[in-house]
Structure 1
Amino acid sequence: MENLRIEAVDGWADAELIAGALDRNEAAVRALIQRYNRRLYRVARSVVGNDAEAEDVLQDAYVRAFSALNGYRGEASLATWLTRIVVNEALQRLRHHKTHQLEAKAPGDLQALAEVIPFPLHAPLPDPEITMAQREICVLVEQAIDALPQEFRTVLVARTIEGMSTEETADAFGLKAETVKTRLHRARQMLRAVLEEHLGSQFPHVFPFDGVRCQRIADTVLARLGLQGGNLSA
């Protein structure tokens, strides 16, 4: 029943959902969270550096945002306004950790909630080998991004992964537009270097053609030759 209520408001504009949230409409609140969850999670993770911490940041930021929602005046888009709150919450958490001399970064959970790059499957049925290769590449990209210094990682995630504009990114992180452009360029260079180093040894294994795909080709050829289960006659 709750899913039906969410679907009923899912097509609403942000202003309508905000009005519903201010009226303590649970479906409206859930719809807003679902609408911006991926962007805000990725931004939070780009700052704090691991999944569990990013989830905590997101929860606290949502509570802060919905508690202050009546103060939102629409000067910036809701996405930008929420992003600022998440960034502030994440940075505050980092400062807290550093003040108490705790580790600023815990080992990353390789089973990330959001994949960095969605690779489409071209085969009609999922090929386990292709799926595994895709996941390995995603993990490699995630690890390479995590290895970037925070100031470059945050800009890369915002601009490249979440598609935020230069101005929107600058506004969210309190930077100048030129600084965003410079950091993005540098982040791409650093990421490219890391990936080239790690992927070089993997090149012999790209475009695998065994498993399901190999079997499918063999079956098709045999069928066209009329040899399903038989032998080619001399």
Structure 2
Amino acid sequence: MKSLINWDKNIFDGEKRLLPSTKVLHTQIHLPELKESWSIGFKFNITPRDQGYRTIADEVFFLSEKAPKEILKEGLKFNFMDGPNIIGECILFQEKLVEMEDVIDRIKLVEQEKHELKMFITSINNSSFSYTTNELEELIKYSSDYPYIFSFVLNIDKNIALKYLSNNYLVKLNNVLESSNLPLFLFNIEKFLGKEEFDMFIEKLPNEIKKNEIFINSIEEIL
């Protein structure tokens, strides 16, 4: 039996208290009709913190062999207790429940993680940042998805950034969507290196790139 747990967002507000990061949790289930309370466990393949406010427990089980296992049926609802406090609501099911809210919550979680990554990258002080050339070359490969990484590497080692742009990014100028970050990359080159060095970089590019419509439009966009 599995369980969907809806955590209380007022309690797990992301500041004073975060969602659990463990893969095993326990709570008490109260059975008024039997006048009993039993300890019940939850096992997670993915921690609640990584899943978000709607968490799937992949296994639900009583801790005691004497517990009334027959009540663990699909549709059973009960509160997730933390001592005397209700911190979530549980509903048991056999197969995985996927609802639109699950998809939206996961997207929001990914977007939040992207924002936190950007804040982390932009907050790094170059003087206290330890790296190797190979590591920078590996990092800049993620610039297509995270364009601020290009600016970050450009500010540390312009040669690695310009080499990536020339040898990897610009040779694939055949799709407007895939090249959507090009104006930003070019803008940052001029911003960090100055117009003279920017013009020299452009001048050294192969003619097939300089004549490419996407490249021309990107240049015009930043002028």
Structure number with larger C-alpha Rg? 2
What TM-score range do you get, normalising by the shorter chain?
Answer: under 0.3
Task: Give the TM-score, by structure 2 length.
Answer: 0.22
Q: Higher strand proportion, which one?
A: 2
Q: Does 1 or 2 have the higher relative contact order (CA < 8 Å, sep 6+)?
A: 1
Q: Higher helix proportion, which one?
A: 1
